[in-house]
């Protein structure tokens, strides 16, 4: 067995989490419970009017105090890219996002972290992973690369990528065998506070 194959077998999965209705203490406790060392923020706009403690600077400071490293990757892996070509009828077309060089660079970074066995969690605002781009976009791409993904749902339960997509699709695939995903919301000229 090749060294790279053995490393992949011992790698920690890539976790995802949304803060949703959680308060900051509960959120940090969940990260600690899963031994997360790196929180990667994949929100396009890392701020919240409704939960300012989850805005970039405040969150980074709180995580540093908890011994967790914070990294903003929303420019690469955010659910609302700047490219107009990624929007169809106001919704984000995740198939188009996959083609962006910045997105591919972000995915490559996640793959390196996975191969190195880093304890990583991707964070967005949506508590339910089936409603968020971290499952419909990022999780799907990681799964295609044979990277294990575990989603911490709104109740703190761990779900596999397949379980989350099953909840989202009800087991129904498109004509070609793969689900087609877009954002659940339409976006106008104003940026939304929290994305999905």
**Is residue 194 a part of any domain in this protein?**
no
**Is residue 185 a part of any domain in this protein?**
no
Judged against a pLDDT cut of 90, whether residue 184 lies above it is answered with: no
Judged against a pLDDT cut of 50, whether residue 191 lies above it is answered with: no
Domains held by the chain: number: 1
Residue span of the structural domain in which 163 resides: 3-169
Q: Please give the model's pTM, rounded to 2 decimal places.
A: 0.84
Judged against a pLDDT cut of 70, whether residue 188 lies above it is answered with: no
**Is residue 31 a part of any domain in this protein?**
yes
Over range 100-120, report the average pLDDT. Answer: 97
How does the average pLDDT of the chain come out, rounded? 87
Residue 11 pLDDT level (bands cut at 50, 70, 90): confident
**Is residue 153 a part of any domain in this protein?**
yes
Q: Whole-angstrom Cα distance, residue 126 to residue 121?
A: 14
**Is residue 139 a part of any domain in this protein?**
yes
**Is residue 190 a part of any domain in this protein?**
no
The DSSP result for the chain, as a single string, is --HHHHHHHHPPPEEEEE-TT--HHHHHHHHHHTT--EEEE--SS---SS-GGGSHHHHHHHHHHTT-EEEE-HHHH-SS-S-GGGEETTEEBHHHHTT-HHHHHHHHHHHHHHHTT--EEEEES-SSGGGSHIIIIIIHHHHHTT--EEEE-TTS-EEEHHHHHHHHHTT---TTSS---B-SS---SSPPSS--
Q: What CATH number is given to the structural domain containing 85?
A: 3.40.1010.10
**Is residue 189 a part of any domain in this protein?**
no
Over range 130-157, report the average pLDDT. Answer: 96
Beta strand pairing status for 158-160 and 149-152? antiparallel
Phi, psi of 107 (to 5 degrees): -65, -40
**Is residue 181 a part of any domain in this protein?**
no
Residue 185 pLDDT level (bands cut at 50, 70, 90): low
Q: Whole-angstrom Cα distance, residue 117 to residue 36?
A: 11
């Amino acid at each position: 067995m090749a060294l790279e194959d053995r490393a992949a077998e011992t790698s920690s999965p890539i976790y995802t989490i949304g803060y949703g209705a959680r308060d900051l203490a509960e959120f940090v406790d969940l990260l600690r419970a899963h031994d997360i060392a790196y929180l990667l923020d994949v929100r396009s706009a890392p701020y919240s009017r409704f939960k300012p403690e989850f805005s970039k600077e405040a969150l980074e400071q709180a995580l540093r105090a908890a011994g967790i490293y914070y990294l903003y990757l929303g420019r690469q892996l955010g659910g609302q890219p700047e490219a107009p070509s990624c929007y169809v009828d106001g919704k984000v077309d995740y198939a188009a996002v996959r083609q962006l060089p910045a997105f591919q660079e972000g995915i490559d970074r996640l793959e390196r972290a996975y191969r190195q066995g880093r304890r990583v969690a991707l964070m967005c605002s949506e508590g339910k992973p089936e409603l968020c781009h971290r499952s419909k976009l990022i999780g799907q791409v990681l799964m295609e690369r044979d990277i294990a993904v575990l989603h911490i749902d709104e109740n703190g339960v761990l779900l596999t990528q397949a379980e989350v997509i099953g909840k989202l699709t009800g087991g129904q695939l498109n004509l070609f065998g793969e689900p087609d995903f877009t954002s659940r919301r339409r976006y106008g000229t104003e940026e939304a506070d929290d994305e999905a």
